[in-house]
Structure formats: structure tokens, C-alpha cells
Structure 1
Amino acid sequence: MDWIQATLLALLQGITEFLPISSSAHLILLPVVAEWEDQGLAFDVAVHVGSLAAVVAYFRRELAAMSRDWLASVVQRRTVGESRLAWAVLWGTVPVGLAGLIFKGFIEGELRGPLVIATTTVVFGLALWWADSRVRGKRDEHTLRWRDVLIVGLAQAIALIPGTSRSGITMTAGLLVGLSREAAARFSFLLAIPVIILAGGLKGVDLVTAARPVDWSVIAVGTAMSAASAYLCITAFLAVIQRIGMLPFVIYRLVLGAVLFALFAG
């Protein structure tokens, strides 16, 4: 990889990981459109580590309270402070973890094509628009019921299909169960932490077994650029989403889907 490729891919990962527009779709499609060779497992792991560092840094106070209260709830066998939200994040991760283990091979072998990405980009973009326009929830993430957690968790499992957008579909589900836009986004971002750890861990195992040489300078740049852009993206998104809504991202997805169909349908 050259420095331009590494920089653009890292920025793309950081920006799109937490926006409802699908980071996996962009990371798969940019090399195809630009006629680049695949960036490789090491770089994929690096940019995901950068995204993880960003979301942990942004929610560091909440995560500290959630971890402390979760441990207390295990010991005391009752709800303690932020333990309910911590359990919601953990249980909301179970469906995607199981689905990833069961369907990983099929998804990577059969569902990474441009037309699949184009279709899911449009379909789940319209689902996001429908949820945002029909529901005006006011609840925050601390009021989630277990049924709500199950719905959002199952939605997150669907996001294993490239182009769906993990952030997009979990925000859609959050809106449908009555969360406000900001609360749906915050819960989606918290759910990203165990998912990125799981995905990065699987890729890390593949990387170790592949035993290929690694350009550590490119890896360092990719990690740093991904972390910085992801942190800025989270900050900006949460600052404006309650006011602007999801429509700009829906329009972007529809345009992107149309472009993909135009490029690859023939």
C-alpha cells in the first residue's frame, strides 16, 4: 500500500464506521473503483483498532461507570446504577456474535458483491427514512426494555451483510422501539465496542495464521488516522443529529446505491 491509499482508507473507515452509511461497503468498494489491490488483513485490523480507540475515548466516563456498576450488579445480583445499560450492550451483542460464527463463510464468499451492496444500501436506507419519519421517540438509552434490546440486537446481526450499515440498522431499530435520535445513536455507538472487538479479534487470528510481512509504518498511520476521524465523526454526529435527522444520510445512500447499480449492473 502507498501512503495515499492508506490515508484515504483510514479516513474512510473512521468517518463511515459510525455514520449510518456502511463502512464495510465503502472499504470494499473504494479499492474496486480505484483499481487498488486489497488492503490486506493487517490494515483492516489496524483501522478497526483506531475506530475502537475513538469510541472508547469518547464514552470513557460512561464506560467506566458501566463497568463498575456491572461488576457490582454481578456481585450483588441486582441492578446497580448503569449496570442495566451495560447488560443491554452485552445482550445486544449476542445475536451478531452467533450469526457471525454461523454465517461468516457464506457472507464473505457470497454476499460481498457490488450489486448486493447496492441493494442493501438502498433498501436499508429507505428503512432508516421510514423509521425516522414515522416515529418521534423521546426515550433515552437508559430506558431500554429487554424486548427493545433483543430487537436492536437482531437488527445488528443483519448488518453482517455488506452495505446494510451496522450503525444505520441499529439506529433504525432504536428509533422503532421509541428512542430519540440521539439515544438511538448513542446506544448504537456503545454496541459498536464489543462488535469491533469481536471482528478485530477474528481478523487478528486470521492475520496471525497468515504469517505475512507487515509494514508497521503504514499500520501506525492507518490506526491514527482512523481514530482521529472516527472521534471527530462521533462528536459531530451526536451534536447535530437531533436537529437535522436522518434524511441527509438516506439521500446519500440512495445516490450511492444508484451509482453502484449504474457501474455494476451492466
Structure 2
Amino acid sequence: MEAIILGAVQGIAEFLPISSTAHIIIAQLLLGYSIPGLSFEIFLHLGSIIAVILFFWRDITHIVSAFFRYLAKREKEDRSEFYFGLYLIVATMITGLLGVMLEDVVGNALKTPIMIAIALALTGIFLIAIERFHQVGNKSESEMSWFDAIIIGFVQTLAVIPGISRSGSTLIAGLYTGLNRDTAVRFSFLLSIPVILGSSVLAITDISAGSFRTIGTGPLIAAFITSFVTSLIGIIWLIDFLKKGRLIYFALYCFLLAAIVLAFLDEATVL
């Protein structure tokens, strides 16, 4: 049951601008359960990453094929997708390099309820700011620039802080640079693939027979399946919601969750 709950929390929160890391930590605190090692988290993330790959497989295939066609033939119709792929690579490299350095600094120091509440509140503030005080841009993927990719990569690095949403930070950064909503959302989702996959690969050595004995094969499989299904639902729902909905609703949720964390979770608790 704990595995299913954590899998559902991961899947639903991963691609919404509400910080899946914060939700996983809060869920553990409420359940009184601390995930041993990284094996369980890897299975949660793999469920999410397979869901986004499955949903965007046509986009991925198109970008990859256009990327290599442009390298070989320099055909004009493949140019925008070629650079879009390069921008994804640049943003991923920036996030990866800075993320590794910040992870050592952050560690468990920022996983206290007060810090999670502050980070959630900041996420909410920036979601409101980008929607209410920043004019929506109209740049498509063919009009993206190196500057856009660099800004998004830098801002995404902040997601190592529990409570700062990865999807929220990339979406906010994309809209700030002037991308239209469709391009910002597409870039954010596609950028999640190498970032989440890369972090999982770096931690893959943590998977061992001992981890399977400690957690159990059944809970690991249950967490993976639940994460996959709920991630797929979350992706479909968010894309549909952003076509007609407003980011302020996610901001209000972040504020509410921050207040609940401060009111009901023990400040001294650190995972």
C-alpha cells in the first residue's frame, strides 16, 4: 500500500508544477516511512520517464531523425528541429553539471518542512508572476535561441531544492524567455527525459539484491506500475489543462500545501 501511494504521488506530481520531490518527502513523513537507499526512487522515476517517452514517441522520433538528416544533408526543413534538439542537449548539460555540484551542497539540509514550505511558496509566487505580470510570448520552436535554452537549463537546476518544481521551473523560464505556451510545454516535457533518465542512470549502481530484499520485489513493481499509469494521466491532463486553464490554480495549491506543511509537520523532521 505504501508503494502504491508513493507511486501515485510521484506520477501525479512529476509533471505538474508542484514539485514531485516535495510531495514524496511529505508523503514519507505522513506515512512514517523513509525510503531505504535510491532503488525505490529509481523505480518511481523510471515509471515516469517511460510514460513521457511513450506519450511523446512521435516527437522524439521526428526530432532525432531530423537532427541526423540535417547533419548529413543540411536540408532547410530539418533546421528548426535540429536546433531544437541542440537546445535540449545544451539545457540538459547545464542542468546536469550544476545539478551534480548543488546536490552535494543541498544534501538533506533543505529537506526540512520549513524549507520545503518556503520553496513551495516561491514556486507559487513565480507561477503567479509569470502569468499575471509577464506578457505571454509568441516564439515557436523555430524562433528559439541559445539564450532561451541556457536560461531554461540554469533555472531547471533550482529543482534540486525540494519544493521547487522541475516542470514548473522550466515552464516558467520558457514563458519568461518569450516562448508560446505550446513550445514551452513541449520543451519542458522533452527536457524531462534526459534529465530524469540521467539522474536514474547515475544512481543505478544503488540497485542491488540487498535492496530487493529490503524493499521487496512486489512493492518495487507496484510502485513502478503506479508511477507509470499516474504519470501518463498527469501528462495528458496537464497538456489539456494548459490549453484553457491558468497557472494561478497551481500557485494556490502550492501556497495551501506550504501552509499545511508548516501547520502539521514536525519542523525537526529531516529525511
CA RMSD of aligned residues (A): 1.9
Structure 1 partner of 2:53: 56
In structure 2, give the amino acid aligned to 1:159.
A
Structure 1 residue identity aligned to 2:28: P
Name the residue aligned to 1:38: 35
Aligned 8 A contact 2:112 2:267 in 1: no
Quickly say closer, same or farther: Cα 1:63–1:265, change in 2 above 3 A. same
* Structure 1 residues 53-202: aligned runs within 5 Å: 53-76=50-73, 80-81=78-79, 82-134=81-133, 135-202=135-202
Matched residue type, 2:87:
A
CA distance, structure 2, for counterparts of residue 78 and residue 146 of structure 1: 21
Segments of 5+ residues of structure 2 without an aligned counterpart are none
Amino acid of the structure 2 residue aligned with 1:177: T
Equivalents in 2 of 1:120, 1:250: separation in Å?
12
Q: Contact 1:141 / 1:186 at 8 angstroms: preserved in 2?
A: no
Which amino acid in the other structure matches residue 48 of structure 1?
H
Q: Cα distance 1:231–1:142, how it changes in 2: closer, same or farther (>3 A)?
A: farther
1:169-227 Cα offsets, whole Å, 9 max, x none, are 1111111111223332221111100001111112212334x943342222222111111
Secondary structure, aligned partner of 2:257:
helix
The AA in structure 2 aligned to 1:253 is C
Q: Which amino acid aligns with 2:29?
A: V
Q: Match for residue 10 of structure 1?
A: 7
Distance (whole Å) between structure 2 residues aligned to residue 171 and residue 200 of structure 1: 22
- Whichever residue aligns with residue 261 of structure 1, its letter is L
Q: Name 1:259's counterpart in structure 2.
A: 260
**Native 8 Å contact 1:48 1:196 kept in 2:** yes
Q: Secondary structure at the match of 1:163?
A: coil
Is this contact kept in 2: 1:18–1:234, CA < 8 A?
yes
Contact 2:126 2:172 in 1 (8 A): yes
TM-score, normalised by the number of residues in structure 2: 0.90
> What letter matches 1:141 in structure 2?
E
Distance 1:109 1:233 in 2: 28
For 2:130 and 2:75, the matched residues in 1 are separated by 34
Q: Deviations over 1:100-152 (max 9, x none)?
A: 22222222232222211111110121011101122222333343111111111
Aligned residues between the structures: 262
| 1:23 alignment counterpart | 20
What letter corresponds to residue 89 of structure 2 in structure 1?
Answer: L
What SS does the corresponding residue of 2:48 show, helix, strand or coil? helix
> Which stretch shows the higher mean deviation, 177-186 or 247-256?
177-186
1:234 Cα offset (Å) = 0.7
Cα deviations by residue, 1:47-87 (Å, 9 ceiling, x for unpaired): 10010001001110010011112223344578735222111
**Cα contact 1:122–1:257 (8 A) shared by 2:** yes
Cα distance in 1 for residues equivalent to 2:26 and 2:136: 34
CA distance in 2: counterparts of 1:37 and 1:93, whole angstroms:
29
Contact 2:131 2:247 in 1 (8 A): yes
- Counterpart CA distance in 2 for 1:36 and 1:157 is 27
* Alpha-carbon distance in structure 2 between the residues aligned to 1:175 and 1:261: 30
**Residue type matched to 1:14 in 2?**
G
Unaligned runs of 5+ in 1: none
Shift of 1:39: 5.3
Give the TM-score taking structure 1 as reference length.
0.92
